Structure formats: C-alpha cells, structure tokens
Amino acid sequence: MQPQGVRARTAERRRARRSGGVALAAGLASLCVAGAAAADPSELPPEVGYNYGETETARIAALGGGLRALGSSTSALFQNPANMAVTRVYHVTALGQIWPQASRQSYGAAAVDSIVSSTGIAGGLGGTWNQQDPDGTDRQYNDIRVGLAMPFGETFFVGATGRMLSLSQNGPGPLGTSRVSGGLRDERIVQAFTFDVGATLKPVPELALAVVGHNLTNTAEAFLPLMVGGGVGYGTREFGLEANVVLDTTTWGHTTARWMGGGEVLLGESVALRAGYRFDTGLDAHSVSGGAAYIDQRFSVDAAVRQTLGEYSATAIVFGFTLHIESTGLTPDPAAGF
C-alpha cells in the first residue's frame, strides 16, 4: 500500500496530465479554427479591394483618395503626373497597403526626380506587387509606371505616365473550379499597356486646378477602367484643402462618380495631420479616412487608415517611408544637367 502523501502526489500528477491534455486539445482546436478563418475567402465584392486599380500613397489615402491638385513627389506619379514638376525634389518612397477584410496586400516603391534637369523636367518610376483574396478570387498583379512632366513657367504643368499591368486570377468562378468558370489558371489574363495624362494650372501659388485622364487606352478592359478626374485645391506651407471628383465609365457598365475631399495641417514644422471623406456612387458607399506624417529634412514617414462604412465595411491601412535624396548632397548640380 502506498503512503497517503504518495497517493496524493500521484493523483495530482494525473489531474495535471488531464488538464494539460485538455489545454493542448483546446489550443489545437483554436489553431484549426484560426487557420480555417484565415483561409476563408473575402465576403466583399472584388471591386472593393481592387479599388479601381489605383495605387495610393499614405497621403492620398488620408485625404480620401483625391490629391490631383495639390499632390507632389511620388504621390503625383500615381494620381496626376503633371504635379511631379511642381516642386523641386528627388524622393524615393517605399509604400505598402493592407486590407484585412478584402484580404489584399500591396508593396512597392517609387522615385521622382525634378532636381537633375536644369529645365525643370521631372521623371518618375514606380511599381507595386499586389495580392488580393488568395483563398477566393486569388488575384495577383504587378503594376509598373513611368512618368514624365514638364513645367511651363510657374503656373502651368503637364505630364504623362505610362502604365503596364500584368494580372492573373486563379480563383473559382460562379460555377466552381470548372475550366469554363475559372478562366486561364496560372496564366496572365491581363497583360496590357495604358497611360495617364494630366495638367495642373496654378493661377496663384496657393491655388491649384487639375484635370487627369486615367487609362486612356484599352478602355474596354475592366481592370483598367477609363476614368476622368478633376481637382481643386488651396494650400500653403501650413495647411491644405482639396476636393476631387472622378468619373468612371467602365467598372460598373455605366458612368459612376467618386466624390472626395480632405484637408491637412502641419504642426510644429514636422508633424502633419490629415483627414478625408469619399462617396462612391458605384458601391453606394461612404468612407472616412485619417492619417499622420512625421516630416524631416532628410526623410518622412506616413501612415493612414480609411474605413468604408455600411454594407461593404472594409479597412485600408496605408503606410510609407520617403527618403529625401536632395537633402543628402548626393544629387548632381542642376546646371550640369540637360
């Protein structure tokens, strides 16, 4: 017969083993549930996460998606190429986007240089890798852009951006995984070139009026919707206000509009606070956004969050880091340029 103390310790070890087994089983079950949840396809329409194929920097997203009038630096490459020539900069940006509900992630880089040329001609290059809903639509695409802008004095600017889109979509269609419904699996269903053209008028330094045509070729391709956008903005060094409208003739089979507005303020020479709003008539959805940036002479860090409200509730988290090459002393003398 075992002593009473030994029996007590043995019973305690058995209870511990049973408790450990229960905890392990619960942990494995939670991991399985989490894995299944992570593998669930997005419940949102693909149009929400695709966001009309637009690439947004954190500043663009924070102002509701509209920065065609007051945009500059690498933001101009993606929204209005004319504005690359408005300011004298040499900026390199790393950027990213995460859309949890739409299961989308995007990462890329861009560079804009208006310093090297003594004539003020600006050039830009950018690209992003994008993945959307890998357990549903399973869309993956690369978006490459090359832009050029020219100033005409201090009041008028024009620019153009060439865009190459390469896209595959391997998810099941409405008939499941059938060959007919699923499309061309593991092949690029879009491999197309298009371009944007923009112009900006600044009758006074603080006021900007802009018009931009987006995706002006391949106008029948829904992944490259033909759009015309306009914006008006008023900005000083300390604050800016802008309103935009974009007409989309392709995505929904008829012309729809996106109305956007936002503002930003600079505090203490280094912190920018931003907020914006968007109404999308195609989705019949409202969005609110906000963001902040830390701006140094040598670099800047930006972040923004946009929340789509209502039936198509979705969050977009956008962030970026920009290096100001012109402040490093590594840029050549513009007088030696072309």
What does the DSSP assignment read for 279-322? Answer: EETTTTEEEEEEEEEEE-SSEEEEEEEEEE-GGG-EEEEEEEEE
Structure tokens at 242: 């802008």
Identify the pLDDT of residue 29. Answer: 44
Higher pLDDT, 135 or 31: 135
Buried b (16+ CB within 10 A) or exposed e, 199-211: bbebeeeeebebb
Instruction: Please state the rounded mean pLDDT for residues 223-242.
Output: 97
Mean pLDDT computed over every residue of the chain = 87
Q: Strand, helix or coil at 19?
A: helix
Identify the pLDDT of residue 40. Answer: 85
pLDDT digits (tens, 9 = 90+) for 86-121: 999 999 999 999 999 999 999 999 999 999 888 889
Higher pLDDT, 324 or 5: 324
C-alpha closest to that of 144 among 122, 161, 163, 157: 163
What single DSSP character describes residue 41?
Answer: P
> Largest alpha-carbon pair distance within the chain?
103
Instruction: Please state the rounded mean pLDDT for residues 64-86.
Output: 97
pLDDT digits (tens, 9 = 90+) for 167-218: 999 887 555 554 444 556 668 889 999 999 999 999 999 999 999 999 999 7
Higher pLDDT, 254 or 39: 254
Asked which of 11-20, 49-58, 133-142 is least confident by mean pLDDT, the reply is 11-20
Angle, CA of 249, 254 and 258, to the nearest 5°: 60
Residue 2, pLDDT above cutoff 70: no
Identify the pLDDT of residue 179. Answer: 44
Provide the residue ranges of all domains of the chain, joining segments of one domain with +.
40-336
Q: Which helix (H) or strand (E) holds 61?
A: helix 58-62
Residue 10, pLDDT above cutoff 80: no
Q: How far is CA 95 from the centre of its chain?
A: 8
What single DSSP character describes residue 326?
Answer: G
Q: Strand, helix or coil at 160?
A: strand
Residue 221, pLDDT above cutoff 60: yes
What residues pair up with 106 in beta bridges, in sequence order? 97, 130
pLDDT band of residue 328 (cuts 50, 70, 90) is: confident
Instruction: Please state the rounded mean pLDDT for residues 246-270.
Output: 96
Identify the pLDDT of residue 28. Answer: 42
Gap between the Cα atoms of 126 and 37, Å rounded: 34
Residue 30, pLDDT above cutoff 80: no
CA distances from 318 to 104, 110, 183, 271 (A): 12, 15, 31, 17
Identify the pLDDT of residue 22. Answer: 43
Buried b (16+ CB within 10 A) or exposed e, 24-58: eeeeeeeeeeeeeeeeeebebebbbbbbbbbbbbb
Structure tokens at 19: 């408790």
State phi, psi for 157 to the nearest 5 degrees.
-140, 140
In the block, tokens 């050039």 appear at 123
Sign of the alpha-carbon torsion through 330, 334, 337, 338: positive
Angle, CA of 299, 127 and 287, to the nearest 5°: 80
The count of other CB atoms within 10 Å of the CB of residue 154 is 10
Identify the pLDDT of residue 188. Answer: 85
Buried b (16+ CB within 10 A) or exposed e, 93-102: bebbbebebb
Residue 219, pLDDT above cutoff 80: no
Identify the pLDDT of residue 4. Answer: 41
Identify the pLDDT of residue 294. Answer: 98
Gap between the Cα atoms of 179 and 16, Å rounded: 54
* List of residues 6+ apart from 274 with CB closer than 8 A: 59, 62, 63, 262, 263, 264, 289, 290, 291, 292, 293, 304
Domain 40-336 falls in which CATH fold? Porin (2.40.160)
- What is the 3-class SS of 200-243, one letter each residue? EEEEECCEEEEEEEECCCCCCCCCCCCEEEEEEEEECCCEEEEE
Q: How far apart, in Å, do the first and last CA atoms of the chain sit?
A: 100
Identify the pLDDT of residue 173. Answer: 55
Instruction: Please state the rounded mean pLDDT for residues 248-267.
Output: 96
Amino acid at 240: G
